[in-house]
Structure 1
Amino acid sequence: MQRPGAADDTLSDERVAEALLALVARRAPGYSICPSEVARALSPDDWRPLMPKVRDVARRLAGEGRVLVTQRGEVRDADTEWRGPIRIAQPRKSASGSI
């Protein structure tokens, strides 16, 4: 039997995306979050099982251009394999009109 509040498959991707985007929005431009921050916000006592789902949602949001995913300071493509730690940040704003 699973503990109340424990991470499980019933947590929707939409809820994960909502939490991820809220945490990213609170960071200043140029700063990022760790996926574990999202997992911990959703399930403080049992966050580790949520990590694959958080990474999957981050991949989808990166593919939609809603977040940037980086590794070692380099922006990663949503369609490539990610191994190891990632960070998630606000997408860069285009400097329209600037040269």
Structure 2
Amino acid sequence: MFPLAPVYSPARLSRDSANGEFYPSLYLNIADNLRRLMAFEAASEYIDLAKQRISALSSDVYGETIRSAVNEVSNAIRNCDTARRPSTPGGAT
């Protein structure tokens, strides 16, 4: 089972849509995929968008997970690293 499935319940998505809490995760995932495709400039733009929206995250486990992933992806972009992050669901393979 995907470990974050309960986080994305319909009720949470509705609530998050109102305050923009899902945007950091959205931009993070776009940045991470672009990074994996070696599109580092575009990835950098999206990780910057994630950073701009990070204040919308709550201070719960979900928020901390996204903050940590934003830092990981930001570092990977800066280092032009295309390896899958160990913290991604399913781990590094």
Name whichever structure is richer in strand by fraction. 1
Task: From the CA coordinates, give the structure whose radius of gyration is larger.
Answer: 1
Q: TM-score of the superposition, structure 2-length normalised?
A: 0.32
Choose between structure 1 and 2: higher helix proportion: 2
